[in-house]
Structure 1
Amino acid sequence: MKIFLLLKQCTHRLIRQFSDAMSKHRVAVCQMTSVADKAANLKCVSKLVSDASKENVKMIFFPEACDYICDNKQDTLKSAEPIVGGSTVDSYRQLAVKHNVWLSMGGLHEQNKEDPTKIYNTHIIINNTGDIVQQYRKLHLFDVEIPERNVRLKESDFCSPGQHIVAPVETPVGSIGMAICYDMRFPELSTALTVLRAQLLTFPSAFTQATGEAHWHTLLRARAIENQCYVIAAAQVGAHNTKRRSYGHALCVDPWGRVLADCGEDTGFQVAEIDLDALDDVRGNMPVFSHRRKDVYSLYALSLRTAGLQPPSPSPAPRTPPPAGPSRQFGHVSVPETCVFYTSELSYAFVNLRCVTPGHVLVAPKRCAERQEDLTDEEAQDFYSTIRRVQKLMEKVHNTESCTVTIQDGPDAGQTVKHLHCHIMPRKRGDFIQNDLIYLELAKHDQFSSTHPAKPPRSLQEMETEAASLREFLLTFDAN
């Protein structure tokens, strides 16, 4: 009996140790003094990665402008590189592979091919196999001008703002919400990232000496406490040139607001431990996010991006005109018959020009009825029978057990085509950070422009291929 109890105690101890090991992760937060010499900065980054990786850390965090800091706009623009294919980022990717660590590098000076007079301030995350898993362009630009004090720091002079909040990135140390420096002064961004289930908030920074002394610790601790997240803020420190000096004090703060690491005013790094079980305890003991008054205020009006940025195109791809062959009238547009994959007596189903999820298709009555109330009883019965049949088909094709099935019945409900139609969107676990965010994407999917974060239209060939495949699948589907 004693042996049994001893074995039981040992087993429980091993389970606790294993659980602790799974929930605790070491990270390094770095501090450096970037200058205009990109090679010298890269040498500093390389040494920090080499030294920090020996401390058994899984991820290393670098400050804003870790690539370079120049003292004038012309040199800043001239030194910028693309993220994809740029030699500096390629060097960072090689470091990640060589030392088997994840890297947070932010904000880099990203070349803006669409506007050579501006750059983007871009935070990237690189995994331990050298892949760029996500990029975030700084939303809030630091613009301060006080003529009587001879102060002018206007990031907008040379930088274009980003357009999206980026969904948190899953990493070995937790789910990371990406931001940059001045973003920390806008609590809505941090709260939105936490609503999207971030566990760590990152603020790679180059805070000025004056603002750092006044606000740095206070702001970062506040973001950690109010969002019950770890906050990691790598920092620039010291004099970069005769015009600019940074505050330093790279920090790691825990969800209770305790400072776990502070690099002070020296270059180098500090190691901190991220304990996701402790984070869960803080959130469980004081569940502030379940106490939020969603009936009074909301953060759902987000411009959210989940996929990585693609290299920018010089101009939008031209829209492929419909073929001269047979088509069906769908409100004010025509649907090529080759894109229709199912017809019933009074309804038809066709593939979509812009898909919110893979397999996003539409069902419409053959007659151009604008609202549900305009359908006859026979049309309504046929319409809903077709919806049920197509939903079953799409779940089978895409190997899912769920669909979002929705009708925007009238302009105030988001209807943009004056022809009743039903969206059928196959769903998989985790396809959206929060389930209801699919409705934000649906609201945007018919309103594409160069500034609107919707997907571009698919080619006619792509849609025809999908429709043909679905028609072929229907033959087997009907047989069963």
Structure 2
Amino acid sequence: MTSKRIAVCQMTSVADKEANLNVVSKLVSDAVQDNVQMIFFPEACDFICDNKQDTLNSAESLLTGSTVKKYRELAAKNNVWLSMGGVHEKDEYNPNKLFNTHIIINSNGEIVQTYRKVHLFDVEIPEKSIRLKESDFCTPGKEIVAPVDSPIGKIGLSICYDMRFPELSTALSILGAEILTYPSAFTYATGLAHWHILLRSRAIENQCYVIAAAQTGHHNKKRRSYGHGLIVDPWGEVLADCGDSAPNYQVAEITDRIAEVRRNMPVFQHRRPDIYSLYTLSLRNTLLDEHSDKTTPVENQTHHQTSGPTNVFGHVRVPESCVFYKSDLTYAFVNLRCVTPGHVLVAPIRLVERNKDLTDEESDDFYRTVRLVQNLMEKVHKTTSCTVTIQDGPDAGQTVRHLHCHVMPRKKGDFIENDLIYLELAKHDQIKPGHPSKPARRLEDMEKEAAMLREQLKKMAEGS
């Protein structure tokens, strides 16, 4: 059995960022002496203030701020991967809010991935004079992040309160996570009641390792954390518990235990997607532009790398060889990932984000093209039905900021329920590590399909 050594850390953050950084530095330097490959730190490892304004004033940008820069230097200096759970990231567009962001840093000091906390801890009990509202100063994240490849396995990113939502952990395990992380600053009262139970449950039901670095003790007069940073194995056994002292760390090994547990009790095979399912509707597998040192200019991104002419399609470009119809104002092209066989797209040539942004002339030509393409696809795929739909705006599922219409030939029984096609459409271009639901097609296959469709259009025109 192969094993990887990890350290889970515990600390008591205060409002002094320099003091907290000294604690982090000492924990890293000590833990690497135990030959660990990755070290996990808790939520708010950068600081904990006792009021909203000081919290906002202390927040920093991930790329330009000094705190994360020092974390990155620590990782590179010590040749170790770091999980910095829940730092206070400045919201550049809203001075009254910040993001609670989990950062994975590799042994070269590079930011590999980030996750902005999705579930915010909002609790108000007037009769007990309790009011804890993370939403007062924090903006929630908008997406699940695909599990991250690391030297210890595929890591699913979460933060603290997220552990109370099993849908998130199940989605991450379905996406291939082997390790679930919950860096936390759990309140003492809730930790005493639920901490061990929740974390062991997430490990057992998903057959994953769970790593939960923790804050502990009194941070100020208003706030006390529970502690007990944990490492739990896929059978629910606690491998390490940091207790309530700080600063300290505990070491454990990640082994092939996960394969053994999943083989002996194959719950993933026993799931019934014909009866129920869990769709991840907002998934990100790349680093946010604002967190990347290596942002690729939009003009250099392509639908498929090609030396030939291309067409603008939002932030990517579509090779001309994949276009099968073009008018003066509209073009139609084959799809990189298809929900159904023959799933193609129609878009205005001009970069237009929303349906309402079309001119009258563009609108007439656009919908005339949609009708033409639908007729073509029904003829080619020998069907009398199509799903023709536009996801108009981000809340409707639009991921490419360029108006486009999906034309999808339909046949009886192609989905268990007809409307499930919309759920599949919502995730069809989201790559799942290890087992993508809709892998990108080869350029040569797309070009071949486009050539065939051009020929069929020519025959249709000759026969009319």
**Displacement after TM superposition at 1:352 (Å):** 7.1
Kept in 2: contact 1:370–1:420 (CA 8 A): no
C-alpha distance in 2 between matches for 1:206 and 1:289: 31
Q: 2:177 maps to which residue?
A: 198
Match of 1:50 among 29, 42, 47: 29
Deviation at 1:296, TM superposition (A): 1.4
The one-character-per-residue Cα deviations of 1:381-437 (angstroms, maximum 9, x if unpaired) are 6x99xxxxxxxxxxxxxxxxxxxxxxx932369798568589xxxxxxx96426564
Superposition deviation, residue 350 in structure 1: 6.5
Q: Compared with structure 1, are the counterparts of its residues 265 and 421 closer, same or farther at alpha carbon in structure 2 (3 Å cutoff)?
A: closer
Q: CA deviation at 1:58?
A: 0.2
Superposed CA RMSD in Å reads: 4.0
- Which residue, 198, 201, 204 being the options, matches 1:225? 204
Deviation for aligned residue 1:245? 0.3
- Which residue is 1:84 aligned to? 63
Q: How does 1:134-283 map to 2 (within 5 A)?
A: 134-267=113-246, 268-275=248-255, 277-283=256-262
Change (3 A) 1:437 1:245: same
2:81 maps to which residue?
A: 102
Aligned to 1:433: 433
Amino acid at match of 1:149: K
Match of residue 15 from structure 2: 36
The equivalent residue for 1:370 is 371
Cα distance in 1 for partners of 2:320, 2:437 equals: 28
Q: 1:460 aligns to what?
A: none
Distance of 2:36 and 2:406 partners within structure 1: 57
Alpha-carbon distance, 1:123 to partner:
0.2
Deviations 1:315-350 (A, max 9, x none): xx999xxxxxxxxxx9xx9xxxx9744787999996
Contact 1:368 1:420 in 2 (8 A): no
Query: Which residue pairs with 1:122 in the alignment?
Result: 101
Amino acid at match of 2:388: P
The number of residues matched between the two structures is 367
**1:311 Cα deviation after fit:** 1.2
Contact map agreement 2:333 2:346 (CA 8 A) in 1: no
1:147, CA displacement in angstroms?
Answer: 1.0
- Give the counterpart letter for 2:215 in structure 1: Q
Q: Which moved more, 1:26-35 or 1:364-373?
A: 364-373
Unmatched 5+ stretches in structure 2: 300-310, 348-364, 393-402, 410-429, 452-464
Q: Quote how far apart the aligned CAs of 1:45 are.
A: 0.2
* TM-score, scaled relative to structure 1: 0.68
Letter in 1 for 2:386: D
- 1:103-127 CA distance string (max 9 Å, x none): 0001000000111100000000000
Residues 352 and 178 of structure 1: CA distance in aligned 2, closer, same or farther (over 3 Å): farther
5 Å matches for 1:288-437? 288-311=267-290, 340-341=320-321, 368=369, 370=371, 374-375=375-376, 380=379, 409-411=386-388, 432-433=432-433, 437=437
Structure 1: unaligned runs, 5 residues or longer? 1-19, 320-329, 385-407, 423-429, 443-465, 475-480
In the other structure, the counterpart of 2:426 is none
Contact 1:180–1:205, Cα closer than 8 Å, also in 2: yes
Is the 8 Å Cα contact of residues 180 and 211 (structure 2) preserved in structure 1? yes
Cα drift, residue 362 of structure 1 = 6.0
For the 8 Å contact 1:262–1:270, the answer to whether it is kept is yes
- Normalised to the residue count of structure 2, the TM-score between the two structures is 0.71
Residue deviations 1:189-248, cap 9 Å, x none? Answer: 000000001000000000001000000000000000000000000000000000000000
Contact in 2 for aligned 1:371/1:420 (Cα 8 Å):
no
Q: CA deviation at 1:368?
A: 3.0
